[in-house]
Structure 1
Amino acid sequence: MVLSPLLAAGFLVAAAAAPANAADGVYVQGTVTAETSQDVYAPQHSVYVELYELSGSGDVIRGIGTGMDGSYSLYGVPPGRYRMHFEPNGLVSDGLTPTWLGNTPYEAQSQIIEVGTTNVTGLDAQLEIGSSISGIVSYPQGAEPPVAAAFLFNTTTGEWERSAYRADVDAAGNYTINGLPAGMYALRFGDSNDQALVSTEYWEGQELLYASTPVEVAADQQLTGYDGAVGPGGVYVGRLAGPDRSATSVQISMAGYPDGSDAVFVVNGQNFPDALGAAPAAARVGAPILLVTPSAIPASVKAELTRLTPETIYVVGGEPSVSLAVETQLQGYATGGVIRFKGVDRFHTSRLVADYFWGGADNRTAYIATGLNFPDALSGAPAAANEFGPVILVNGKASSLDAATATLLQELSIEKVVVAGGLPSVSAGIKSDLDALPFILESYRRNGADRYATSVITNQKSFPLADAVFLATGANFPDALAGAALAGAWRAPVYLVQQNCIPSAVLGEIGRLHVRDVVLLGGEPSLSNNVLNLQVC
């Protein structure tokens, strides 16, 4: 028998040959054992088994607890690809590590289950006695005790795992986070709810993730003395804005790159198509996006280019978007020259950008968005950057995926695609063709009832951790275009909001992430002072 390449590599779990009624789906089953003492294992009950689909929304479609003998069966599973997670019940098994199928704490490295028309058995898991981190956290008198959270970092993908390991701080300030697998963590202390009544701080008194010291945890290790302190709560809400869209892009650049930048992206600020794929690329190389007109460089942008002293300026778009005269002027600001990405259309341009900045790299994820409108691509850009992937534009109204995009995805070694937006934005035919690509293991669609809800759902799936959120109008593109690059570089989400208020779901996201900063992109009338005051719609 010849195994498929995925089976031979161990990425897929072969199905057993038991018969099943395909119309009702099949069952998947296995047994969970847990470490009871050093290298001694026994069946473990009350472990919650979750089956995540690798298509559609990517949510849990089945879940069940293990029985007293450690076994489980999930029935009515439709054909498709899945990942499986095992979560011990802390009330009966405190200290055991959760795991993904394949006995790994990392979702991206877990085994993928291929379900067809036959039952799948032998999906066993083994839980280990985990390590721990403990310490004392001081907090303001009269406040509720905070929570300690350890966020596991996947050094292979550069992403944070979707769920943190948490522990309540008791009244005396003591905490212990149990059940930790070996790995690198960000240790953060913050409010026990979404009210921001106490501040969010990292271990060693750092306010921001990038400045914090990671905690290295080895197997069977009990780390003590990891103390912290939180102060009075509150979220800083500010605005980055200038008198016009180009000046706003300058303010965003100054905030993100006070010491200059080796690279700068220049795009047309009067139209969006060519520039939509620029934000993840700019975030990838740590560069701002500055907005020009087709025929001129505004004075504010000239001054900012002088301050930034870039080596390379990347122009995204052809001569109708940014003229040759502007390109010639830009040569005087770039010590190493100007590189222009110019395709036959907006879709080709986005592919050129993706190929240049992601070609030859060890890639995993790409976002697919329509190039016929801007909202989904703009809110998807920071999410793509957070997952180290490009945004590739397609003609969302087309009935099928174009061959050039399919070829590019394969050349970039993409295994996971995320379609940004619903059926009005990207057709069912395009999504179906993406699903059918033999090298794509995961194919999701992130969409909500409108552009605002889509931005929430996109960011919920991509950001388990952030220090800031950016808010931009969902009615126009320039402010979000420049801001998406900075958000991507900061690994922070952009939420689309209305001119005079914030959707309640966006406010909920600010609470979920426990951010310190909320940054409005653009002045009035793009975003009114009601938004500055976080007034809910």
Structure 2
Amino acid sequence: MASTARARLLALALCASLALTGLGAFNGSQAALAAATDAPPRSPDGTAPDGTAPGGTAPAPLTAAEATTATERETARVVLSEAPQLSPATTASVTGTLRVYDYDGSGPFAAQTGSSWVRFWRFDAIDELWHWQGDVDEFGVNGEFTMAGLTPGQYRVEFVSYDVTVPVREYWYDEPFWYASDTLTVNADVLTTIGTVTLEPTPLEFFRISGADRYETAVAISQSIIGPGESAPVVYIVTGAGYADALSAGPAAARDGGVMLLTRPDALPPVIATELDRLDPARIVIVGGTGVVSAAVESALPAFVPDPGLVRRIAGADRYATSRLLVDDAFAAGVPHLFIATGRTFPDALAAGPAAARLGGAVLLVDGALSAADVATRTLITDLGTPDLHLAGGTGALSSGVEASLAAHVGALAEVTRYAGASRYDTARELNAAVFGPVGTDFAFLAAGEGFADALAGGPLAAATGSPLYLSTRACLRSGELVDIVMLLAKEVYALGGTGSLSDRVISGGTC
């Protein structure tokens, strides 16, 4: 994968990218397709607070050193709070003007009330989170806006507009990505003027993360999560010969900022051993019994941790028992959301992993062909604090009896929602629309819908960047997925795996 793309992902790995999306009208899929491949060069308008022009070209790509600096600067996640945290006792205000270019180069146009937003996130030094404080959606005739009543502090500011043919977003100051955005200081009893901010659409860029085989691809993904000189808090080792154990292990690894690596059942591949040496993990979790990850592999792993006791195995009698043990181990304190998918196939659970991680939740496998959820599953749901349940897949994947039994089990204590499309691809779209639609994303990931190998280790990477995972056919990217990605305001798309999984046409934006 390109070094610039990797640098950006490394810089973003410690935070989730949130944005305001899904609140405006869309003017047609053809416009979205055009924007993805034929957006005009940036042509900023207006001046910076110091009176200088913003410049006429897109920001230069980050170097590896700049990415490392960005990573050190950005150590906090953002949180979409239940309600704005504005304090009426303060009088800090921010004013400015928002203008927008269309993707055909026309404009700039004044931001319009109700279809453009300026959103404010304040850093809380106590919990080290960026909390949404509120947003502005009222603008003057020239795009003027004022945000009053802000609590003094350090802010990230986000600008979104649906006024033009294809929606566009930037961050303060003139940055396309959350991780690179500048911090705006807001003081009490001071009107902070940020001048004119002009939004310009940029082409959607595609990258590939791959290796010579599934094991090298897992290493490439791992290197996109844990940068040079950093160590992994945890590494989950799963078999590369099957998918079941990895589907619940991915969100578990993502929860602790770790990675997931694939191994051959009978021996640790040299490329995986080299990556483990680089990662210097604090602990290692083997997933599955000796039938899937042999004792020989287990005996090789203590060499990569400070103490042999830091290597342990989580294994149940079958894939469902293993899944329950993984979830119970990684989320012992409970979860707010639990995604449930069939363990008989992989696509629904694969797409559910990043969505679950985005909500701080887990993925649990069940036998979707049963007439009702088993007792062990229902018991675990209770032990996890009776979270909201998200069913991934239609009744062909998870029977109506499973859904009814789960709804009866949680009763009024939690909600049960099913996401189901006409195909595995559409189910992934339904999941992503529900979870990422309200907040948006800077990045999106593509995985093969017909094969699991290259995509398995990508779940923690998508989770680390707060990004959705879409499924794609090998030959081309369906237009529906491309439109969804554009509407989520993503700037970059990462295909997981080589051309045997996803063709070059997919990463060139070729649709079908």
Give the secondary-structure state (helix, strand or coil) at the position aligned to 1:481: coil
Contact 1:418/1:445 (8 A) holds in 2 = yes
Taking a change above 3 Å as real, the CA distance of residues 536 and 342 of structure 1, as seen in their structure-2 partners, is same
Residues 1:444 and 2:413 are matched in the alignment = no
- Does residue 264 of structure 2 align to residue 298 of structure 1? no
> Is contact 2:81-2:131 (8 Å) kept?
no
The 2-side partners of 1:169 and 1:142 are apart by 20
Listed as ranges, the matches of 1:52-71 within 5 Å are: none
Judge conservation of contact 2:340–2:389 (CA < 8 Å) in 1. yes
Matched AA of 1:225: T
User: Does 1:414 find its partner at 2:371?
Assistant: no
User: In the alignment, is the contact (CA less than 8 A) between 1:367 and 1:418 conserved in 2?
Assistant: yes
Relative to its length, the structure with more strand (as a share) is 1
Q: Give 1:502 shift.
A: 1.6
Shift of residue 207, structure 1, vs aligned partner: 3.7
Return the offset for 1:338.
1.1
In the alignment, structure 2 segments of 5+ residues that lack a partner are 1-79, 85-90
Q: Give the AA of the match of 1:255.
A: S
What secondary structure does 2:278 align onto? helix
Q: TM-score, normalised by structure 1?
A: 0.68
Query: Aligned to 1:525, what secondary structure does the other structure show?
Result: coil
Once residues 225 and 217 of structure 2 are traced to their aligned partners in structure 1, the CA distance between those partners, rounded to angstroms, is 12
The CA deviation string for residues 361-390 of structure 1, in whole angstroms up to 9 with x for no partner, is: 4x2111111111100000000000001011
Query: How much does 1:335 deviate?
Result: 2.1
1:270 aligns with 2:241: yes
Query: How far apart in 2 are the matches of 1:131 and 1:427?
Result: 54
Aligned-residue offset at 1:138: 6.9
* Residue identity matched to 2:441: A
1:329 is paired with a residue of what secondary structure? helix
SS in 1 for 2:475: coil
- C-alpha distance in 1 between matches for 2:396 and 2:83: 30
Query: Which residue number in structure 2 is paired with residue 355 of structure 1?
Result: 328
Distance 1:406 1:214 in 2: 46
Using the TM superposition, give the Cα deviation of residue 282 of structure 1 relative to its aligned residue in structure 2, in angstroms. 1.0
Aligned partner (choices 437, 451, 461) of residue 486 of structure 1:
461
Distance 1:224-1:251 versus aligned 2 partners, 3 A rule = same
More deviation, 175-184/389-398: 175-184
Q: Note if 1:134 corresponds to 2:104.
A: no
Q: Match of 2:416, SS?
A: strand
**2:338–2:390 Cα contact (<8 Å) kept:** yes
Identity of aligned residues (%): 36
| Equivalent residues of 1:263, 1:314 under 8 A apart | yes
Counterpart of 1:495? 470
Deviations 1:39-62 (A, max 9, x none): xxxxxxxxxxxxxxxxxxxxxxxx
By how many angstroms is 1:440 displaced? Answer: 3.5
* Partner SS state of residue 289, structure 1: strand
Q: Which amino acid aligns with 1:478?
A: A
The 5 A counterparts of 1:348-427 are 348-361=321-334, 363-427=335-399
**Alpha-carbon contact 1:144-1:192 (below 8 Å) kept:** no
- Displacement of 1:187 after TM fit? 2.9
Report the counterpart of residue 313 of structure 2 in structure 1.
340
1:257 aligns with 2:229: no
Shift of 1:511: 1.4
Deviation at 1:230, TM superposition (A): 4.3
Instruction: Give the 3 Å change call, closer, same or farther, for CA 314–169 of structure 1 in structure 2.
Output: farther
2:300 to 321, 329, 333: 329
Q: Name the count of aligned residue pairs.
A: 412
Query: Given residue 349 of structure 1, which amino acid in structure 2 is its aligned partner?
Result: T
Are the structure 2 counterparts of residues 406 and 176 from structure 1 closer, same or farther at C-alpha, using a change threshold of 3 Å? same
Query: Does residue 192 of the first structure (1) align with residue 162 of the second (2)?
Result: yes
Change in Cα spacing, 1:443 to 1:202, as seen in structure 2 (3 Å) is same
Larger Rg belongs to: 1
Distance 2:491 2:469 in 1: 15
Q: 1:512 aligns with which of 487, 495, 498?
A: 487
**What one-letter code is carried by the residue in structure 1 that aligns with 2:325?**
L
Q: Give the TM-score normalised by the residue count of structure 2.
A: 0.71
Task: Please give the alpha-carbon distance, in whole angstroms, between the structure 2 residues aligned to 1:151 and 1:442.
Answer: 30
Return the alpha-carbon distance in structure 2 between the equivalents of residues 513 and 132 of structure 1.
29
2:207 corresponds to which letter in structure 1?
G
Which residue matches 1:125? none
Alignment partner, residue 64 of structure 2: none
Contact 1:295 / 1:322 at 8 angstroms: preserved in 2? yes
2:210 pairs with one of 241, 251, 255: 241
CA–CA separation in structure 1 for the residues paired with 2:493 and 2:363: 24
Contact 1:365 1:389 in 2 (8 A): yes
> Within the alignment, does 1:471 sit opposite 2:446 as a pair?
yes
Deviating more after overlay: 204-213 vs 524-533: 204-213
Task: Pick the aligned partner of 1:150 from 94, 98, 119.
Answer: 119
Q: Please give the alpha-carbon distance, in whole angstroms, between the structure 1 residues aligned to 2:216 and 2:161.
A: 37
Q: Report what 1:431 is aligned to.
A: 403
How many Å separate the matches in 2 of 1:249 and 1:266?
11
CA distance in 1, matches of 2:361, 2:83: 15
Cα deviation per residue 1:174-213 (whole Å; 9 max; x = unaligned)?
3446899999985322453686686x42124444324546
The equivalent of 2:193 in structure 1 is 225
Q: Does 1:534 align with 2:495?
A: no
**Which fold has the larger relative contact order, with Cα–Cα distance below 8 Å and residues 6 or more apart in sequence?**
2
SS at 1:252 equivalent: helix
- Show CA shifts across 1:456-489 (max 9, x none): 1101110122110001110011222111111011
Q: Which residue of the partner structure matches residue 67 of structure 1?
A: none
Write the distance in 1 (CA, Å) between the matches of 2:346 and 2:504: 24
Change (3 A) 1:396 1:191: same
Task: Classify the secondary structure of the residue corresponding to 2:338.
Answer: strand
CA distance in 1, matches of 2:340, 2:184: 35
Which residue number in structure 1 is paired with residue 33 of structure 2?
A: none
In the TM superposition, 1:165-176 aligns within 5 A as: 165=135, 167=137, 174-176=144-146
Identify the residue that residue 74 of structure 1 maps to in structure 2: none
Amino acid at match of 1:235: L
Query: What's the Cα RMSD here?
Result: 3.7
Q: Which amino acid aligns with 1:496?
A: L
Q: Structure 1 unaligned segments of length 5 or more: list them.
A: 1-104, 110-129
189 and 272 in structure 1: CA distance in 2 versus 1, 3 angstrom threshold: same
Residue 394 of structure 2 aligns to a residue whose secondary structure is coil
Question: 1:288 aligned to 2:288?
Answer: no
The Cα shift of 1:134 comes to: 3.3
CA distance in structure 1 between the aligned counterparts of 2:300 and 2:164, rounded to whole angstroms: 49
